[in-house]
A and B are shown apart, each in its own frame.
Chain A
Amino acid sequence: GAGVSQSPSNKVTEKGKDVELRCDPISGHTALYWYRQSLGQGLEFLIYFQGNSAPDKSGLPSDRFSAERTGGSVSTLTIQRTQQEDSAVYLCASSVRQGVYNEQFFGPGTRLTVL
């Protein structure tokens, strides 16, 4: 079946511009996660959505970052006034639901380059 999809696959933007990154989770998955993978830094958690519950935003690095999830499915991560340090691969993952036993399935990521 279809996995997690993300768009665009690559995004180049100028410093100060806003960007939107999209994630389509696996159908039926109620939990959705955003991570950021910077060179040499591994993956950092950004935000987590579970159904209609309030999201866990504890990983967002600044108030320039926000995310929403419409209809419990598609999610958009928005970065306002981008900075060069925002350059990274942004990964989305989904799981059947929150819980200890539920594997997170990752998308291919969006590579963001801020010039």
Chain B
Amino acid sequence: AQSVSQHNHHVILSEAASLELGCNYSYGGTVNLFWYVQYPGQHLQLLLKYFSGDPLVKGIKGFEAEFIKSKFSFNLRKPSVQWSDTAEYFCAVRNQAGTALIFGKGTTLSVSS
């Protein structure tokens, strides 16, 4: 069965620090990958997505992610975090049937000012 692993449960950073959140998926075929963010008290919203083409994907708010097929990874990065980036981040892969997303357990990011 497809699965997504997010290795960091809780990450604590100071403002201006660089961020990298790990995400690994299990499926070896064609994959569609996503990062969603949930700010405190808000809905889940899409940060970025990868379907094909350039493996380096840029999203909103300065986030980017790199798809590395050989490593089954889709890590999220940001060069310099802000206090407002404090949120929970979810990596997801579309299931083989194309009917749903399979999510990781999420990473809580806390940024201190």
Contacts and interface: CB of A to CB of B under 8 A. Distances in A.
Contacts of A40: 105
A40 B104 CA distance: 10
Contacts of B92: 43
A41 B32 CA distance: 21
Contact of A42 (B46, B94, B98, B104): B104
A45 B95 contact: yes
B102 A45 contact: yes
Interface in A31-47: 33, 35, 40-45
A16 interface: no
A42 B95 contact: no
A1 B94 CA distance: 26
A100 B51 contact: yes
Contacts of B100: 33, 35, 45, 48, 56, 59
Interface in A62-83: none
Contacts of B95: 45
B99 A56 contact: yes
Nearest to A4: B43
Given A56-B97, A99-B98, A100-B98, 10 more contacts: A33-B99, A35-B100, A43-B101, A48-B100, A59-B100, A98-B98, A98-B99, A103-B49, A104-B46, A104-B101
